[in-house]
Structure formats: C-alpha cells, structure tokens
A and B are shown apart, each in its own frame.
Chain A
Amino acid sequence: MPTTVPAHGPDAAARLASMADVTASDAALRRFLHGLPGVDAVGLEARAASLGTRSIKTTAKAYAIDLAISMIDLTTLEGADTPGKVRALSAKGVNPDPTDRTTPRVAAICVYPDMVATAKEALGDSGVHVASVATAFPAGRAALPVKLADTADAVAAGADEVDMVIDRGAFLAGRYLKVFEEIKAVREACRRPDGSSAHLKVIFENGELATYDNIRRASWLGMLAGADFIKTSTGKVAVNATPANTLLMLEAVRDFRAATGVQVGVKPAGGIRTSKDAIKFLVLVNETVGDEWLSNEWFRFGASSLLNDLLMQRQKLSTGRYSGPDYVTVD
C-alpha cells in the first residue's frame, strides 16, 4: 500500500494523476465506474444495523460526545437566515455550552455564500471554520459559470470550506465526465490568490441517486476529481444520511486510500438529530476506516439540532440529572 497523503495536501494531485487513464474519456470513466463491484444491499444494511447495536457507556460515551461535538458543521441553510441568526449560531459554535467551558468547539459553521462574511467576522480567530454551500445549492441546477461564480464568491468572502453539490441530472443520465469536469472546475474556483485553497466537500445527495451502486460510483467519481470530503446529502430531501449509505461511503474512502494512498474525509449530513445516532456513526467510522478518521479533519456531521441533544447528554453525564430543552438554545 502506498504511503498516505491527505486529499487537501500538495501531493494528492500527483497520486490522482496516476489514475488519469480511467478519467481520460467518458467511455473510460464509465467503464471504470461500472466495473466497480456491485453493492450487496442486504449485507450493507445488516452490517450498518449490527454496528448500530454497540453499547457505548460512561467514559467512552463522554469521549464520544465530545468528539461528536468537535466534528459538527453547525448548519443553518434557511431562506429566512438573517445576519443575526448567523452571528448567534457562530457564538454558539465557539462556545456551545456557556455553563461548561470544557465543552469543545464545533468544527465549522455552515451557511449560504452571502452569509460567509458575517460568519467569518463573528468567528474571528476562534479556530472554528466557515463552510459555505455553493454551486446553486441544493438543486445544483444552474449553468457552470454561475456555479463557479457562486464558489469564487464564497471563497473571496473568506470561506475555509466549500460544500458543492454534484449535477445529479448529469450523473443519472450517465454523463460521468461532465460531473467529473465540473467538480474539477469547482476545485479550481476554490483556489485563493495566495495559492492556498478552500477545502472542497462534494455532496452527492444520496437520496436522489436511487441505488447503492450509484452511491459507490459517485463516491469514486468525486474522489477521482479531487474531493477533500465526500458528503452524503444536502439535508433538503426526504432521505438524507443513513447509517447504510454512510457505511458505503466509508468503505469507498477506505478502498480509495488503499488504491491511491489519498485520504479523503466523509461527512454525513441531514437527519442526524440525537446523540445516539451520532455515536452510531462514530462506531461505523471506527469499525470501517479506523481511528485515523476519528477527528474533525476527516469526519464531520452536518447538523443543526444534533448539537443541542449532545449538550443535553453532556449535562446528564456531568450532573447525573436528565436535562431538557429549556437549558440549550432554541436555534
């Protein structure tokens, strides 16, 4: 196995170039993606369900809760977002539980591109990143120049991370190279004038990809195109992150690292609301790709209400009393 390099590092491009033959043409790419082994759907779901039955208690639970908090991309993606709400969310991300300063910070605040500057200003030098969705989120139905301008805008406003959506229409129509080129173009748009680059998360919208085989193909496609993170969903459709589709993506990043030596992160998003769910995902990570992925550099939760539940569980562990929604913020 080749030595590992991070997807966002300088050496990743050379590793990806070694796979250039499979991405040379639409036909080659289709041959490669359709040549990936089919997914055993029943086996996958059974595996995800059995890993969900692990009992995580006491000190392990306390560790898992703090880890999960530090992995959250605290998200607000509403039409009704105001600068005030973004500032409030940023304050919460930096200091999730004002009554207990030992609570870790979240990983990032995730907002629409026009709110990036507000979030950046509110977060200051706290170390919490600003993530911005881009490329006509959540539908992704816009012309490429519009998507690139959207991305460049977010980066110029100071986004540390960009969450793009793939063109599901093109993907489902089998035009894989179009999707591939688009991801590459967005990746270029993430570049800053000083040569550094905003991290790119690629959202597949698993709920719209219809089959597990498609999710596996999309994962490989995204990673070949240079994704730093692959992300399950926008949170805007009926089916979002499930243990099964996240497990499938974790297997994809594991296999991708084995093949190329490039390590890619995973971000399940949408529908993860309770500490219990979050801990199930952490078990999946640990059992599938191991503890190298157990940090917010490689695994994130896209969530808004999850943080409150984690904080209530944290309060329960430290005081012995069950907490309630009166003791956490509303948003």
Chain B
Amino acid sequence: MSDKSEKAEAVRLSVFKTYKLFVGGKFPRSESGRVYEVTDAKGKWLANAPQSSRKDARDAVSAARKAFAGWSGATAYNRGQILYRVAEMLEGRREQFVREVGEAEGLSKSKAAAVVDAAIDRWVWYAGWTDKIAQVVGGANPVAGPYFNLSSPEPTGVVAVVAPQESSFLGLVSVVAPVIATGNTAVVVTSERAPLPALSLGEVLATSDLPGGVVNILSGRTSEVAPTLAAHMDVNALDLAGTVDDAALAKELEIAAADNLKRVLRPQAVDWAAEPGTDRMTAFLETKTVWHPAGAGAASGSAY
C-alpha cells in the first residue's frame, strides 16, 4: 500500500509557481525580463522573483494614476466593502500565506499563523475606517460670518510605498491598507529579500473586486526602483517605511521627492504587531476646506 502511493508520488511532477508583478490588475513579468533568486531565512532557494526596472515603475505609476479617479470617487462605504473582501479572500488562502511567511521570515508554523491572522485582522480594521476617517479628521469649522466652513480630508493621489524589509507580510499590509483605505492608489516596492508574500497578495487583491491599478506591486532591488518613484513627477506622496535601516537611501529618496513637493512619510521604527492608530491614513490625506453661504437664517442670527 505505502509502496503504491510512493510510486504515485514519484510520477507527479512538481508545479513550480512563476511569481509575477501585479500592475494595473494584470500579472506581467518585469519588462526587463530579469529575475532574481529569493531564498528563505536559512538561504535555501525558494523561487525566482521578477526584478523590476525603471520602466516597470513608470508603467505602475500610469496604472495607479488611471485608477485614481475611480477609486477616490468610489464611496467610502464601497471602499470599505472591498477592503473587507480582501480580508475574506486572504482568509481562504491562509495556509499558503502561513507557509510563505514562515519560510520568508524563518518563523515556526504557529508564529507565522499569528502573523497572518494579525495581517487579516488589519485589513478588517482599515476596512472599518474608510467611512469614519472623514468624521475624525474633518468637520465644520466655526467662522465669524454667515457661512458654513467645512474641512474634508481628500486622498492625495498616487502614493509610492517602500514596504518594510523585515516584516514581509504584516508590515506590508500595515503600510498598503491605510493608503488605499482613504482613496489613494499605491505603487508598492516589496521587501527586497522576501517579496513572495507581497506578490501572492497581488493574487488576492486581483480576486477581491479591487479595481485594477489601485495597488501595484513591484519586486526587485529597492535601491533601483525606489529612486525612480521618488523622482517621478506624477507620484504625489512617498512612504519610506522600508528604508528604516538604510539612512543613505532614505536621504536620497527624500531629496528626489522634494522636486515636486511630495508628501513624505519618513522612516521610523514601528512595532507592526501593535495597533496602528490613524497616522498612516492621515499622512496621505489633504484637507479641502469649503466655504458655503449659510443663507438668510444665519444672517438673521439663527444658530443654525
């Protein structure tokens, strides 16, 4: 009996997965055709990941720009539903992510499972925030005149995110979810050493009703792709979470980002497991203030 099953196993060829980028809702290889070897925490080969080029970064930015009008124009409630759907899809692929995170970060199965659970919960957490952030950081301002004066937070545009290098999945989710929850679109540079959970996340996003281009995922050399994004005139903001251990690169990126006055979230040490607060959402919001005549009632002294 055991003999027989061994034979059956012997004839089954292994099906290797070709990890690909996620750009504009599609899964292209790098335009340059390059790949690089990805190993687990002990140095054992896992897969070849695409090594993105400047042109991949450019294509990702155009895709993100194209998606921005639709995504920022969607209702906050609808964005919340879609983000929750991402969590649902992740839940269904839990086993795969536990394996990938365990291999990438050298965690035991139970520790990796805890990380994946935390990441799924984080999607749900941010899904809940989509239609609440405006009440928290916007509102009516008191003014001395017959006007309503309202401040409302608006998404800033295309955000380039350099994802955390060590926390390849929970860290990634913790920087991507807040960016898109508020209506921005994102171009994400994955952890250079451990890009596989991020690339697999692309497959989840593609099946979550997330419009193509809202999140674009690029793997490769951070020092090659990130400067192009930082200098790109059509990128509106930059999250430097992944450069926390590379002060020289962070400085270079900040200088490049100054050209068109990008909003920059500077690198800081973060405990990804802790509850994140709203900072990462508000970092990529702009406040629009509107004056509106309050009408005759206000002029005659009505409190309304």
Query: A: which residues have CB within 8 A of B?
Result: 315, 320-327
Contacts and interface: CB of A to CB of B under 8 A. Distances in A.
Contacts of B233: 315, 321-324, 326-327
A162 B145 CA distance: 58
B283 interface: no
A280 to B, nearest CB: 17
A322 B65 contact: no
Interface string B219-234: 0000000001001111
Contacts of B228: 322
A321 B259 contact: yes
A40 B58 CA distance: 38
A321 B228 CA distance: 7
Given A322-B233, A327-B233, 8 more contacts: A320-B231, A321-B259, A322-B61, A322-B232, A324-B234, A324-B235, A326-B233, A326-B234
Most buried by A among B228, B232, B233: B233
Contacts of A327: 233
What are the 3 closest A-B residue pairs judged by CB atoms, nearest first?
A324-B234, A321-B231, A322-B232
A323 B232 CA distance: 6
A75 B259 CA distance: 33
Contacts of A326: 233-234
B231 A323 contact: no
A151 B235 CA distance: 47
B58 A324 contact: no
Contacts of B259: 321
Contacts of B65: 324-325
B231 to A, nearest CB: 4
A197 to B, nearest CB: 44
Is the contact region of chain A dominated by helix, strand, or loop, or is it mixed? loop
A48 B19 CA distance: 34
Nearest to A320: B231
A324 B233 CA distance: 6
Contact of A325 (B232, B234, B235): B234
Contacts of A324: 61, 65, 232-235
A327 B233 CA distance: 8
A327 B232 CA distance: 12
A320 B54 CA distance: 11
A15 B58 CA distance: 52
Most buried by B among A320, A321, A326, A327: A321
Contacts of B234: 322-326
Nearest to A323: B233
Most buried by B among A315, A322, A326: A322
Interface string B122-138: 00000000000000000
Most buried by B among A315, A326, A327: A326
Nearest to B256: A321
24 contacts: A315-B233, A320-B231, A321-B231, A321-B232, A321-B259, A322-B58, A322-B61, A322-B228, A322-B231, A322-B232, A322-B233, A322-B234, A323-B233, A323-B234, A324-B61, A324-B65, A324-B232, A324-B233, A324-B234, A325-B65, A325-B234, A326-B233, A326-B234, A327-B233
A325 B235 CA distance: 11
Contacts of A323: 233-234
Contacts of B61: 322, 324
B254 to A, nearest CB: 15
Contacts of A321: 231-233, 259
Interface string B200-219: 00000000000000000000
Nearest to A321: B231
Nearest to B61: A322
Interface in B118-173: none
Nearest to A327: B233
Interface string B24-65: 000000000000000000000000000000000010010001
B9 to A, nearest CB: 46
Interface in B246-266: 259
A199 B232 CA distance: 43
A262 to B, nearest CB: 43
Contacts of B231: 320-322
Interface string B51-87: 0000000100100010000000000000000000000
A326 B259 CA distance: 14
Nearest to B54: A322
A315 B232 CA distance: 11
A56 to B, nearest CB: 15
A286 B232 CA distance: 33
B187 to A, nearest CB: 12
A195 B275 CA distance: 82
A323 B61 CA distance: 11
A324 B232 CA distance: 8
A324 B61 CA distance: 9
A139 to B, nearest CB: 33
A183 B213 CA distance: 48
B227 to A, nearest CB: 10
Contacts of A320: 231
A326 B231 CA distance: 14
